[in-house]
Amino acid sequence: MFNSTINKISELKSELGHKAALLNHARKLPALEASDRLIVDHLKRDGVYVTTLEKLGLGSTSDLLKASYNQLSRMTDANNSHLTKRLPQIYTVTDFPEFSQWGQEQKLLNIAENYIGLPVTFQGVHLRKDFPNENQFGTLLWHKDSEDRRMVKIIIYLSDVEEKHGPFEYVPLSLTPLHSLNYYRIYYKLWKSGYLGITDEQLKEVIPEHKWKSCPGPAGTVIFTDPKIALHHGTLRSEDRSALFYVYTANPPKRPELCTQYWDDTFAKPEPYQEANSVTVFR
């Protein structure tokens, strides 16, 4: 009982400190172009904004794509067709300059800072290949991420993604506003799952399927999302999907121990195709 009270007091102090930091930093937020402000506004309203690499117009995109397809071609055969649960193949590529330089473009950092409301950190990037699965598990379940109070994740499709490839899917925030009945019903289901995630059938008990938002798109589609706020998942697929996952949090994030996966040895790190291409990303 005593420890529980101490933890609650500590949590309250942390949240009050966060609120004060937001107020203090509000006047220091970088200016945004109208198109970038639109991304921030959609994140706040819906939790997701979909665009393309072409529309973002970042100078480092060509190098990023070249490096991405080079690494994809070097991924070893997963040899998992016999498994009932085919885990994604994930490479941590944060230390490659073509990936980190794109992620640290000032335009993206400004968008993340304006949305999060505090100085931000680019945590890193995963190159990911997802495989066909017939049953929901892992990130195929509806879930929310936990690294920070607010975060920005940028997903870049490296291959065309139709329904058969398992596009990103989410529930718009307007359907589960904070402190609404739907919000608490979903929170309870997530709590019962140990925050591992809930199935399509469980979600249908709260939000009708026709209100879910799927995000198919051609290669080069870019999805901005806050995976802490928006309930989301990857849908079941019958064909492979390849994508990049960039992650931004406040500096420091609420739960830094969950962020190490974007730059440590949790996932495989591919061998550089040129030794000079490796770089250290400082946090």
Is the pLDDT reported for residue 106 higher than 90?
A: yes
Burial environment of residue 92 by CB neighbours within 10 A (0 to 12, 13 to 18, 19 or more): buried
- Interatomic CA distance for residues 65 and 124, integer angstroms: 16
The pLDDT of residue 13 is: 83
The pLDDT of residue 166 is: 97
The pLDDT of residue 82 is: 79
Which amino acid does the sequence have at 14? S
Token pair for 102:
């794109």
What confidence tens digit (pLDDT) does each residue in 176-228 have?
Answer: 998 999 999 999 999 999 999 999 999 999 999 999 999 999 999 999 999 99
- Interatomic CA distance for residues 162 and 196, integer angstroms: 26
3-state secondary structure 6-47: HHHHHHHHHHHHHHHHHHHHHHHCCCCCHHHHHHHHHHHHHC
Query: What is the phi-psi region of residue 117: left when phi exceeds 0, alpha when psi lies from -120 to 50, beta otherwise?
Result: left
The pLDDT of residue 272 is: 73
The pLDDT of residue 95 is: 96
Q: Average of pLDDT values for 101-108? A: 98
Domain range annotation of the chain: 1-30, 33-277
Sheet holding 241-250, edge to edge: 48-52, 221-225, 152-157, 241-250, 120-130, 89-92
Residue 1 binned pLDDT confidence (cut-offs 50, 70, 90): low
Cis-peptide, bond into residue 88, ω within 30° of zero = no
Is the pLDDT reported for residue 276 higher than 50?
A: no
The half-sphere exposure of 112 on its side-chain side, counting CA atoms within 13 A, is 23
- Tell me which DSSP letter residue 142 carries: B
What confidence tens digit (pLDDT) does each residue in 81-97 have?
Answer: 778 899 999 999 999 99
What confidence tens digit (pLDDT) does each residue in 24-65 have?
Answer: 999 999 999 999 999 999 999 999 999 999 999 999 999 999
The pLDDT of residue 281 is: 46
Give the containing element (helix H, strand E) for 204: helix 200-204
Is the pLDDT reported for residue 4 higher than 70?
A: no
- Interatomic CA distance for residues 169 and 164, integer angstroms: 13
What confidence tens digit (pLDDT) does each residue in 117-160 have?
Answer: 999 999 999 999 999 999 999 999 999 999 999 999 999 999 99
Beta bridge partners of 63: none
Beta bridge partners of 185: none
Give how far Cα 216 sits from Cα of 64, 157, 198, 209, 220, Å: 21, 9, 22, 16, 11
Q: Average of pLDDT values for 92-103? A: 98
**Regarding the domain with residue range 33-277, which homologous superfamily does it belong to in the CATH classification?**
q2cbj1_9rhob like domain (2.60.120.620)
- Interatomic CA distance for residues 249 and 232, integer angstroms: 18
Is the pLDDT reported for residue 283 higher than 50?
A: no
Q: Average of pLDDT values for 169-174? A: 97
